[in-house]
Chain A
Amino acid sequence: MFLHLRPKLKFRMRKNVLLIVLSFLFSVSLFSQTKFTISGTIKDGKTGEELIGATIFLKDTTGIGAVTNAYGFYSLTIPASKKEIAVRYVGYEDYSVTLDSMKSQSINVSLSPASKTLKEVEVKATKSNENITTSQVSAIKLDIKQLEKIPVLFGEKDILKTIQLLPGVQPASEGNAGYYVRGGSNDQNLILLDEATVYSPAHLLGFFSVFNNDAIKDATLYKGNMPAEYGGRLASVLDLKMKEGNSKEYVIGGGIGLISSRLNIEGPIVKDKGSFIVTGRRTYADLFLKLSKKENLKKSILYFYDINAKANYRIGKRDRIFLSGYFGQDKFGLQDRFTIVYGNATATLRWNHIFSDKLFSNTSFIYNEFNYTIGINVASIDVKSQIRDFSLKEDLDYYLNSKNKLKFGFLTTFHTIVPGQVISSDTARIGNIILTKNYGWESSVYAQHEISLWNKVNINYGIRLSVFSQVGPSKYFKFPNEDAIDTFNLKLGQFGKTYFNPEPRVSISYNFIPSMSFKAAYSRNVQNLHQLSTTTTSAPTDRWIMTSNNTKPEISDQVSAGYFVNFHKDMFELSVEGYYKWMQNQIDYKNGATLRANEAVETELLYGVGRAYGAEFFFKKKEGKFTGWVSYTFSRSERKFPTVNRGTWFASRYDRTHDLSIVLMYDITPRINISATWVYYTGLAATFPIGKYVLNGEIVPLYGDRNQDRFPAYHRLDIGATFVLKKRKTWEHDLNISVYNLYARKNAYSIDFKTDYNTGTSYAEKTYLFRIVPSITYNFKFSFAPLKKKQK
């Protein structure tokens, strides 16, 4: 009898211990019968677009709420006694609902956009304090609508240039879409468009981003302390999500600008079940070239175009399929001498499945590539290069209860890099140079837990385990000593060097009072793809290499802490953040390195360490006729390589001591708004001559240590105005006017050192790209309801 009882007792005890642990962890009693779960999607009532980051909460109880995920899905577990639910999203009117039964159910909500044109009085739109309550630190969610008002070069609304106005983010150079985040290089920024990696995010040598604003629904920038679901780059993740398309009516919109025009079409496939959107852009700068009197310019080519397309369809209540893609290309040609063609292509197929009211799944198949071809006609050769990824991704959201959320999943990617192949025709004077392709297999699994304690503390902790292997069939190099090069071959399916890296992440927020919080975070990030750039601004032809037996994964450890406060009923937002980042296995190249058409390119590289630290100040007015922000960053970014500057720390190309942006927007009337931005930043670190000497009869600069000098400080004022010409229910159009560099400052784009042999003197000469650049853009939009099918 006694013997018979023991195992049972043991079992019970174990179970109890487990339950106690679980209920402590998740601060809920799992047996409780007095709770139920509501779930569903939250949408824009006008367009049917799902809203990301909308909050749904209990009206009379603080601290019980949920936030919609990237697909507008939420799940909220609530006590059975509660039935007053409210839904909120910035820029939309509040919505309340009273539940009529106390059981688990599906509730889909459509929010009405807060309209401004109806009355002059300030509309009671929702304000958000999510910036205070979330544990996420060092992240910014961009307001896509606000972006339309900010003046930019040539009037091309550009998300990558707008993020450069935020703290901790700096432009790579004048008018450039490239950016540096917290002292990291350009290639340390991961840019995701519907989960697909965009390797080269700029058109026209960096002057425009490849992202057409008309196609983007949501954009969030993580400055190094990303949650465990993201990985692969050290400095930042910019997560862009494309619009789904209007599921209620057809809309045709577009714009005609100074150098490009846009057109977009969206509408339902089947009303409220599926929708599509197609957006396109093309520049016509080449038409200006045709006007030139110079024969050589007339024959030149210079344009880009891009297309975004997306469709989605609901299959039943639990499943939804999305297909999205991007294709863009740039083409330059100087006379008949040479042409450069380059572009990105991405495709994402996604399947959302709701397993239960608490478990949401998304499975994605992702393809992306970047390629370029340089045709050197005078030499009859083409140089071709490509980087291509195939990925499978799975993400699961598990809404345990209103205080606990789990997220876990995996990502596996097969990378192919085709380095610059030289393909020559029969008449060419150079033979074919076929560099071996490189293959890499990169995978990661992650799990993260978001927990909220005592309504005051939010914690998000997690871990990402990443593994990278060099794989065959390919040739790799070994360098047993300084001058020797050995090669080894990997066959198809054979693995070379493999690196495992655990990447722990944690962020914590403590809310003193609902409108004030202190946050801290730590993250380790690992990067296995590296871009070798010989200039400050990345060029489309810059070569990418993978982690190998010689090049180790880049690793960063970043700690951040900040103080966040909202006041005047969340109308104003103020934050102060500090960070420190350590970087390992940073890459630079040797003096006079040969990076092109060089198979053993790793012989030209140097490996070192980096450190970056800074303080970021951000003050924003979010509501009212007058809105805008002031952002100031003090930061340093340094590198150390054994053979550069005798192994001492030196300022990196990404170092900008001071960086200030002021953005002001004012609605004069509902139809007219004006805006202005002013930016100031420390000139970039550069190497200037410390003397001069004679070589072959020429007088040439003598250089000292790397990056000991600075360009002159950069500053610029831009202004803009938008006039709504007409706004009706079915159509509207507006005119946007902007002036770039209003006071015509001649900011140095480059500095050359020259000698005047007549006067026998040497001098420095700067090249500046732009003085005052005015521009004008006309935008229009028509919408009409789907045609009713004729009844027979």
Chain B
Amino acid sequence: MRNILRTIAIALGAVIVNSACTEKIDLKLKNSEPQVTIEGRVNDKPGPYYVAITKSRLYTENNDFIGIGGALVVISDDAGNIDTLAPGFITGLYQTNFIQGTVGRTYKLSATVEGTTYVSLCKMNPPVDIDSILISTETNFQGELKTTTKMQIRDPSGVPNYYQVFSVRDGYHGQHSDRLWDGKIREFNIPHKDLASGDTLEAELWSISQQVYTFFDQFDQNQNNFGAPAAPANPDPVYTPAAMGYFSAHSIKSKTVIIP
């Protein structure tokens, strides 16, 4: 809604007086001590699974983020499996050796970085099927014709479900909660760059936990803030002690189509 209002406010300025514009400005920003970010995922497909550990930079610095090597990273589950991750192919990336994600188990990520051990827990929820992938041609807001793809799902009723939609080629897209449409048939947009006839689209539906949903929902609200926003803030940490990032154990269903 905030985005819609923003669009109108700016459109109003732009249309009526043809003047709303943007411009780079210099601001004096406060600087923080570097903070640790831990991104970890476990799913019900075969491993290995990866954990990435990075450090924040000053806002005015360049974007050459370098991973933190030498951390002790352990993923374990409530069935007694304990896997100490091995260094991955770049610094700051760690990968599992043998642990296998299983629906219904609770996973624990523990990462010891420069003397501090950060811990996060996540339960893997059961997967939800993709019924079909719908392909259509629609006129977008700029008046151009675009190929649009959606996945149709049937939300299991009586339980809260949280989803993320992932396009294997072009990355992940938003998160959804069934709070307002429990048990209904639902369509999610599948994010993708321009698609041409003959392209393969591989889409995944991730069943995520409430904590991960909340993390990304808060994250998006803060990124989409507009104007003089309600004060933006970092999402509530999922790690103890606080670190940026998330730890998501989710189940996956996927479907592949070829664009006609």
Contact = CB atoms under 8 A, between A and B. Distances in A.
Interface of A: 154, 173, 204-205, 207, 259, 285, 288-289, 292, 294-297, 302, 332, 334-335, 337-338, 422, 429-431, 433, 533-537, 539, 541, 589, 591-592, 594, 596-597, 653, 684, 686-697, 699-704, 706-709, 711-712, 746, 748-753, 755, 757, 760-773
B259 interface: no
Nearest to B142: A296
Contacts of A752: 22, 226
B184 A430 contact: yes
Contacts, number: 233
Q: Which 4 A-B pairs have the closest CB atoms?
A: A592-B218, A750-B227, A536-B228, A690-B32
Interface residues on B, range: 35 or more
B229 A535 contact: yes
B15 A289 contact: yes
A695 B62 contact: no
B97 interface: no
A430 B15 contact: no
B60 to A, nearest CB: 7
A259 B16 contact: yes
B168 interface: no
B159 interface: no
Interface string B48-77: 000010111111101111000000000000
Given A702-B244, A765-B22, A592 B54 contact: no
Contacts of B17: 770-771, 773
Interface string B208-252: 000000100111011100111111111110000000111000000
A706 B231 CA distance: 6
A690 B228 contact: no
Interface in B106-123: none
Given A429-B186, A535-B229, A750-B226, A691 B59 contact: yes
A429 B56 contact: no
12 contacts: A285-B15, A335-B141, A429-B185, A535-B2, A535-B227, A597-B180, A691-B32, A696-B172, A702-B32, A706-B233, A709-B29, A762-B63
A27 to B, nearest CB: 53
Nearest to B20: A769
Interface in B1-59: 1-2, 4-13, 15-17, 19-27, 29-32, 34-35, 37, 39, 52, 54-59
Contact of A769 (B19, B58, B226, B231): B19
A580 B204 CA distance: 58
Contact of A592 (B52, B179, B214, B226): B214
B31 A691 contact: yes
Residue among A592, A686, A752 with max Cβ neighbours from chain B (10 Å)? A592
A694 B231 contact: no
A288 B18 CA distance: 11
A429 B185 CA distance: 7
B82 to A, nearest CB: 27
Nearest to A653: B228
Interface of B: 1-2, 4-13, 15-17, 19-27, 29-32, 34-35, 37, 39, 52, 54-60, 62-65, 139, 141-143, 171-172, 179-181, 184-187, 214, 217-219, 221-223, 226-236, 244-246
Residue among B24, B27, B143, B246 with max Cβ neighbours from chain A (10 Å)? B27
Contact of A693 (B56, B62, B142, B181): B56
Given A205-B8, A594-B179, A769-B13, 14 more contacts: A204-B12, A429-B185, A534-B2, A536-B230, A653-B231, A687-B232, A691-B35, A692-B63, A702-B234, A703-B232, A706-B231, A751-B27, A764-B24, A771-B21
Given A422-B180, A430-B184, A693-B37, A205 B5 contact: yes
A615 to B, nearest CB: 25
Nearest to B246: A695
A699 B63 contact: yes
B30 to A, nearest CB: 5
Contacts of B56: 691-693, 702
Contacts of B21: 746, 767-768, 771
